[in-house]
Amino acid sequence: MTSACGCEPSAPMAREEEHTPWWRDRAILLPVTSGVSLLVGLILEWFVPNAGMIALVLFWASLLLGASQFVPGALKGLFTRGKLGIGLLMTISATGAVLLGFIEEAAALAFLYSIAEALEDKAMDKARSGLRSLLALIPSTATILVRGSTRTVPVEDLAPGDVLRLAAGDRLATDGIIRSGHSSLDVSAITGESIPVEVGPGDAVLAGSINTTGALEVEATAGGTDNSLTTVVALVEQAQSEKGQRARIADRLARPLVPGVLILAIFVAVIGSLFGDPGVWIERALVVLVAASPCALAISVPVTVVSAIGAASKFGVVIKSGAAFERLGGIRHLALDKTGTLTRNQPTVAEVLTIDGISRADVLGWAAALEDHSTHPLAAAITAAAPQAPTAQQVDETAGQGITGVIDGTQIKVGSPRWLSPGPLVGQVETLESQGMTVVIVYRDDHPVGAVGVRDELRPETPEVIQSLTDEGFGITMLTGDNRRTADALAHEAGITDVRSELRPEDKAQAVADLAGRGPVAMIGDGINDAPALATADIGIAMGAKGSDAAIESADVAFTGDDLRLIPRALHHARRGRTIINQNIVLSLAIIIVLLPLAITGVLGLAAVVLVHEVAEVIVIANGLRAARTATTARPVAAGTLSTSELTHAGPHV
């Protein structure tokens, strides 16, 4: 059994792992049997005359059963690694008690210590149960189409390009794109979105989604073992192998404490024996060994961190390490990328200008008819705004300027204000540009008839989130490679006063470093050009839905959704976890400080110290498990999650 006091990470989560009831779990059954033997022995000794020998046998059985859970590991650690662990303190204490004839006390110590270890392991298992449940969202098999017929294959055999048949009620085995069919998907278990999402051909769908209505055919964009859910699980598993800063502090306190306690016990035994009864002072030295055991200190932080990280993963926040979790709780300043973080990273038509006698629909339709033949990044936004656009002929595009064509016998031009003069619309065009829009001018027969303003709009929740964070005292800075005019306009709408624009990737990293000089800072971004800044910050947070591989790898925290309201929720959760960690450290040290003088002066005997110490340890574990609770009033996470297929094709964002 893993020593809870050593806090060694458990084995990686396996898909086949199943819950084992306690009555079939050897790690629980042996300590429980030890306790039953101890209890029966005490009852016989107290209430049954002439049952002393039977009681003694039961005490020995209790001692051996309990000791089997920690003595082998303690001795192995001592002889193979020279490790003076807490289990060694307990081994020495139990051995000394036996040599002094305190079989009952030795049995009680062995039972209480072994049951505490078992409870710690179960606490860790409970904390990780939410993480294991992520894997349960992936079905074990999938139905694929092969040359017109269907067959069922293990999910591990799925590869990109396979076409999956998804009937109503089925759960999707991997990420993909819908090729045929319309339906609604329940994605609540993945992204927290409470309302089913309507999907049709061309829509990207995520592993773990449940098809609620019609049949779908989905082309896999990721393998069965390398998709959005397995990516999340892999990141969560990584969190279990790295301890937080405070966990390392606890370890640093525990490591010198163990040899220190051994020296103190020897000092008590030797000095006391010089001035009093050696038997009394040797017994007190053994009690000191137990009283000063830092087991509660060593386990208190890891239990809290694992509980909190597991809880965060349930509401869409994947924290890569315990160290990241603890740093997240101390953040006071946030640096946010603009495109794809504060904005949707999906340019849309925001405004259409016209001259007298020309309708908005005409201007938008003419522009869309030509842009349908263009490869310009803004073309998709304009064509999406006018799906019933007329047909254009003789289309000719001039790179960097615009595009011309003939619609119903009339020549139409669409281009930049630097190529086509806005004419009477010049004042309105300048206003749109001051609001951060990119404007294209529309000409009909060589005369300006309108203009279309396109902008990457703010996410609807952005102003609310910025206001909330500002009210709570967080500093907010926007970092972007965009031009100053666009950056200032969007920052004003968002409520951000500290704006740094026209930044290259290295400039963003330097800006974060400058902010970090004032206190702990978190960088939130999603693009390749955000990666240096994410790595530079005390905490890098990647927006998961559209983020690039570089951003995800450089970040300490990843959002599986793209709703900015995850930011305050994650900060509150980490701050609460940090408070619980501080409570556990103080409580663990207080236990040692209080018990030591009571043990040295003989106020508490061996059995009493063992009982008080282990009960206090259980209290510390229970307190740490409180970190698994999350606020139920937070708003749902928007749809979107880490998709390896999306990440592979994600380009750099400004």
Catalytic residues: 337
- Nearby residues of 376 by Cβ (< 8 Å), 6 or more positions away: 403
Sign of CA dihedral 543, 549, 551, 552: positive
CA-closest candidate to residue 323, choices 146, 578, 138: 578
User: Around Cβ 519, how many Cβ atoms within 10 Å?
Assistant: 12
- Alpha-carbon span 300 to 97, nearest angstrom: 28
Angle between helices 278-291 and 606-625 (to 10 degrees): 0
Sign of CA dihedral 486, 489, 494, 495: positive
- Distance, C-alpha 626 to centroid of its chain: 17
- Nearby residues of 416 by Cβ (< 8 Å), 6 or more positions away: 400, 401, 402, 440, 441
Kind plus residue range of the DSSP H or E element containing 501: none
Which tokens go with 282?
């040797």
User: Around Cβ 12, how many Cβ atoms within 10 Å?
Assistant: 12
CA-closest candidate to residue 474, choices 326, 342, 574, 332: 332
In the structure, how many helices (H) and strands (E) does the chain have?
22, 22
Q: Express the helix, strand and coil content of the chain in percent, nearest 5 each.
A: 50, 15, 30
* Cα distance from N-terminal residue to C-terminal residue, the chain: 51
- Alpha-carbon span 99 to 621, nearest angstrom: 32
- Alpha-carbon span 318 to 175, nearest angstrom: 19
